[in-house]
Amino acid sequence: MNYRHGFHAGNFADVFKHAILARILVYLTRKDAPLRYIDTHAGAGRYDLTSEAAKRSPEWRDGVGRIVKARPPAEVAALLRPYLDAIGPCDDDGRPDSYPGSPALAQTLLRPQDRLALSEAHPEERAALIAALGRDRRLSIVATDGYVALNAYVPPKERRGLVLIDPPFEEPDESARVEAALAAALAKWPRGTYALWRPIKAPIEDARFLNAIAALGAPNILRLELDVGVVAPGAHSPNPLRAAGLLIVNPPFELIAEARVLMPWLAQALKRAAGGGFVRQWLTPPA
């Protein structure tokens, strides 16, 4: 386990993932009924963008750094507001005091009646996560493998909620593990909302992954992808990522229309070079 999210915190892929995550949580929290947020690969919770990792790999500058300085149209600004509020104040460079990872974002957006179940296998990242989120009776943070924990947590007793599956994709069998974990979770909790993040590196391999997820037979899977175009190699990123995707199983109805507004704006705001763009379509249509 070499992956450290601190090298990538606040980059374009984080902005895309976290802005959509915030929209899903905004909708799920509109009903009073409690919900469960399950984060299978939680990371360190919050990231100091003045840290050595962020200095060696300042990916945030072309991610959150651009977004907080942008002047989006009112419709986009309203959709980004919960995400930007969770980020909080930024300096003149567009650097936040700290960048909230998925657990901190969820902690901010969830209510007293909700619960967060977070898995983080790396001891140092888990210690940072515990410190970052502080004392909060809604939280459960475990060292258990995220896929094993997912199987134990679903269906949650609330019968409502969101699962984020956001592994590092360092191991060659990671996609196969995601497929198997989603299949098992859907068999136990078909009505849950699931967000699967993935880097898009090789089109053929990515098409194989999409086919495998579609073949699970679950309806109602929204496919969102963001490609920022060619990214020049950096000192810490010899093969920098240029595209990432989210598959959202059972998305809140409103997200479908919101993605029509957000995706083109994010693609424009985060673009690095020609050749980028976005995808917004059904992987499998609603039943």
Ligand X SMILES: C[S@@+](CC[C@H](N)C(=O)[O-])C[C@H]1O[C@@H](n2cnc3c(N)ncnc32)[C@H](O)[C@@H]1O
Distance of CA 21 to the CA centre of its chain: 6
Instruction: Identify the residue among 146, 161, 251, 276 touching ligand X (CB under 6 A).
Output: 146
Number of residues this chain uses to bind ligand X (CB under 6 A): 20
From CA 232, how far away is CA 240, in angstroms rounded? 7
Nearer to ligand X, 6 or 252 (CB): 6
Cα angle 117, 123, 126 (rounded to 5 degrees) comes to 35
Residue 126 beta carbon to ligand X: minimum distance, rounded to whole angstroms: 8
Query: Under the criterion CB under 6 A, does residue 11 sit at the interface with ligand X?
Result: no
Whether the CA torsion 123, 248, 250, 106 is positive or negative: it is positive
Nearer to ligand X, 15 or 284 (CB): 15
Separation of alpha carbons 274 and 50, rounded Å = 30
Return the structure tokens found at 203: 């089109």
Asked if 48 interacts with ligand X (CB under 6 A), we say no
User: Of residues 106-145, which lie at the interface with ligand X (CB under 6 A)?
Assistant: 119-122, 125, 145
Pairing of strands 161-165, 36-39: parallel
> Quick one: which of 42, 141, 269, 270 contacts ligand X (CB under 6 A)?
42
We find the least distance from the C-beta atom of residue 168 to ligand X, in angstroms, to be 4
The one-character DSSP state at 31 is: S
| Active site members | 166
CA distances to 96, 117, 125, 185, 273 from 152, in Å: 35, 11, 22, 9, 43
Q: Does 225 bind ligand X (CB under 6 A)?
A: no
Q: Which is nearer to ligand X, 11 or 284 (CB)?
A: 11
Residues that bind ligand X (CB under 6 A): 1, 3, 5, 17, 39, 41-43, 101-102, 119-122, 125, 145-146, 166-168
